[in-house]
């Protein structure tokens, strides 16, 4: 059974919240600034095709970012609500046993403490048995030659 950390210490939860807030804020800024500049140039009759046509596309992109940020914020709230439905791990409360004279009757008598015997500091040194020397190597005698030539 794995235990999950509380939601307050969950890095993905806080990451989702921060990215959602940033996306919503960036989209809102982009949308309001572009719509404000488009309104100004259209009412002054100084609008160029770039202001009108590109401004509309940028405003739509800002609206999409704002919507994505809002969806992320709603997801964060849903995760926080679902986290409250998780069952808490059962915590068993153990109360200390009260000391009574009757309880002491069943305890064994304490054994006396005996100090340990001192340990020898060094172990006796055991010498290794001498190694026997290797027997000398005897070379084979050369083969005798026959009438047909050298022996094979």
Give the SS3 label for residue 149: strand
Residue-range domain boundaries for the chain? 24-83
Helices (H), ranges, 97-143: 101-104
How far is 152 from 139, CA to CA, in rounded Å? 18
pLDDT for residue 99:
64
Token digits of residue 151? 């022996």
Higher pLDDT, 50 or 99: 50
Q: Is the pTM of this model over 0.75?
A: no
Phi, then psi, of 3 in degrees rounded to 5: -105, 135
In the chain, DSSP finds a helix count (H) and a strand count (E) of: 4, 0
> Does the structure show a pLDDT above 70 at 16?
yes
Which tens digits make up the pLDDT trace of 21-37? Answer: 999 999 999 999 999 99
Which tens digits make up the pLDDT trace of 42-98? Answer: 999 999 998 889 999 999 999 999 999 999 999 999 999 998 888 777 777 777 766
Look-up: residue for tokens 């009438």?
A: 147
Q: What distances in angstroms separate CA 37 from CA 12, 15, 54, 143, one per listed residue?
A: 37, 33, 12, 115
């Amino acid at each position: 059974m794995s235990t999950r950390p509380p939601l307050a210490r969950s890095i993905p939860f806080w990451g989702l919240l921060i990215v959602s807030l940033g996306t919503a804020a960036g989209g809102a800024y982009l949308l309001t600034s572009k719509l404000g500049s488009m309104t100004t140039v259209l009412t002054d009759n100084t609008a160029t095709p770039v202001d009108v046509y590109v401004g509309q596309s940028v405003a739509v992109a800002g609206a999409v970012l704002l919507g994505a940020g809002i969806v992320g914020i709603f997801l964060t709230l849903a995760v926080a609500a679902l986290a409250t439905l998780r069952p808490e791990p059962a915590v068993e409360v153990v109360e200390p046993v009260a000391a009574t004279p009757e309880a002491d009757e069943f305890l064994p008598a304490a054994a006396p403490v005996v100090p340990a015997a001192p340990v020898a500091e060094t172990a006796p040194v055991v010498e290794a048995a001498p190694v026997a020397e290797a027997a000398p190597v005897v070379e084979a005698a050369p083969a005798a030659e026959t009438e047909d030539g050298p022996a094979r």
